[in-house]
Amino acid sequence: VHDTQIIHYKGESTKRSSIDETKIFYNAMHLFVKKHFASSMLVELILRSGIGFRKFFAFLGKRKLILFSVITDFILFNFSLYIAERFYIYLSDWPGFHDYHLPIIYTVPALIHIIVGSSFGVYKKDSLSVLKNFAAIIVSFFILSSITFFFKNLAYSRAVVIITYLLLFLTLTFWRTIAKLVFKVGADKYEVGKKTLIVGLNNYVIQIADKLKSKKTDLHSVTGLIGFSNKDIGKKIGELEVIGTTDNIEKIIRDKQVHEVIFSSQELSYNQMMKIVSKCQDENVEFKLIGDNLDFIVGKTSVSMLDDIPLIQISYNISNPLQKFIKSLFDYSQAIAALFFIYPFIYFITKVTKKQTVFRSFILSVPHIFTGKVSFVGPKKAESNGNLYLGKRGLTGLWYTENTDERDYEKLNIFYAKNQNIWLDLEILGKTLNKMWNTRP
């Protein structure tokens, strides 16, 4: 009989497959116990219980943000309810909640809010949504108000409900904002470059990658190539490496957080492409097909030219009237706050020390915002690309936070114009201050 051995090479087998390795691992442990310890019921029970608990905690570990959010919202809901009760007792002659109703009052309303929040997608394992939380608060307010209408014995005071939900708007928004901006927990991280996979193995893919990099309107980061069998993995075509196959492309998309998959029309049939698209339909990724002449990409909703062309009559976020209003409101309110609380001290310190730092220059430039031609965040120079408005000149922007060559500034400006919102501005400001403080002399 020949001797055989299995070599486990750094988990490469799971990387090359589409299996859920965590689930398979714990199922294998159960199978091992069943095979080798079935003779002792007590030992089997202890081991299986231990494996079950470990699997349960591994499951919770992947969803710790959901668990933390639910517990925090539950506590803050009841805290807001308690403060509302105390406040209304102070303002009126209302005696407060009856003791025998407290178990219901401090559990059911909070659970209703959490259930509503779950239905709105508030609780996710990788993000914290402030806007969805607003919607959940509004809906749960009306649901709770209708419940107190039907259950008269619990209908103590509409004023307490209103005060509770006003406090909820503040407390639930505050902790999510602090978590996103300060601790970077559940933050919707922006990616300056689109993470792209190219399906194909011939030299044609190198030309595709070069074309993508030369585009002025988008920044692309080619994550790797997708081959057609396991033996292709690890191969290099030019500077690009084959990191997966069409069999495990779904797992690669998820693990590498890919935004875009481009098919080479020379190597795949239409049926093969549709099979891949169907398999990955639950992933948040866009599939595109490149033309034979390398001059265009066909997507689900648009055709993008690979050669640079003038941008005509395109409307990005930065030119949206509502986004403009929110951005202006943010700029002026923060500029007023900085002018009163920070500017005088920085001005005085600069005059005394005769030293100018990047941070001091940033603060001393804040008054320029009131001219209406400067914003906290924007392009390095006020400009437009054809008829496309790219925003006011910014005191900071992606041109400062991203370590890129000046030749990429136009791409960064277009990326910012397309994706501008208050959260992106706040994240850029946070990165700016962090970079300024870390580079102080």
Q: Does residue 311 register a pLDDT over 60?
A: no
State the residue for tokens 């437009």: 384
Q: Does residue 150 register a pLDDT over 80?
A: no
How does DSSP assign 361-397, residue by residue? HHHHTGGGGGGTSEEEES-SS--EETTEE--SEEEE-
Give the mean model confidence (pLDDT) for residues 307-320. Answer: 55
| Whole-number Å distance between alpha carbons of 275 and 44 | 43
Q: Tens digits of per-residue pLDDT, 114-136?
A: 999 998 889 988 778 887 898 89
Residues 139-177: b if buried by 16+ CB within 10 A, e if exposed: bbbeebeeebeeeeebebbeebbebbbebbeebbeebbe
- Beta strand spans in 228-377 (E): 236-237, 240-245, 260-264, 286-290, 296-298, 303-305, 374-377
Higher pLDDT, 313 or 232: 232
Neighbours of 7 (CB within 10 A): 4
Give the mean model confidence (pLDDT) for residues 228-237. Answer: 89
| Whole-number Å distance between alpha carbons of 298 and 312 | 19
Higher pLDDT, 289 or 231: 231
Confidence band, pLDDT 50/70/90 cuts, at residue 46: confident
Neighbours of 212 (CB within 10 A): 22
Neighbouring residues of 425: CB distance < 8 A, sequence distance ≥ 6: 327, 330, 376, 377
| Whole-number Å distance between alpha carbons of 184 and 189 | 9
Give the mean model confidence (pLDDT) for residues 350-367. Answer: 92
Q: What is the pLDDT of residue 191?
A: 61
Confidence band, pLDDT 50/70/90 cuts, at residue 360: very high
- Give the CA dihedral 180, 186, 190, 194, nearest 10 degrees: 170
Q: Does residue 232 register a pLDDT over 50?
A: yes
Estimate to the nearest angstrom the gap between the alpha carbon of 377 and the chain centroid.
20
Q: Does residue 166 register a pLDDT over 90?
A: yes
Q: What is the pLDDT of residue 438?
A: 74
Please choose, from the candidates 149, 19, 8, 154, the residue with its C-alpha nearest in 3D space to the C-alpha of residue 81.
Answer: 154
What is the pTM assigned to this prediction?
0.55
Q: What is the pLDDT of residue 299?
A: 47
Q: Does residue 57 register a pLDDT over 90?
A: no
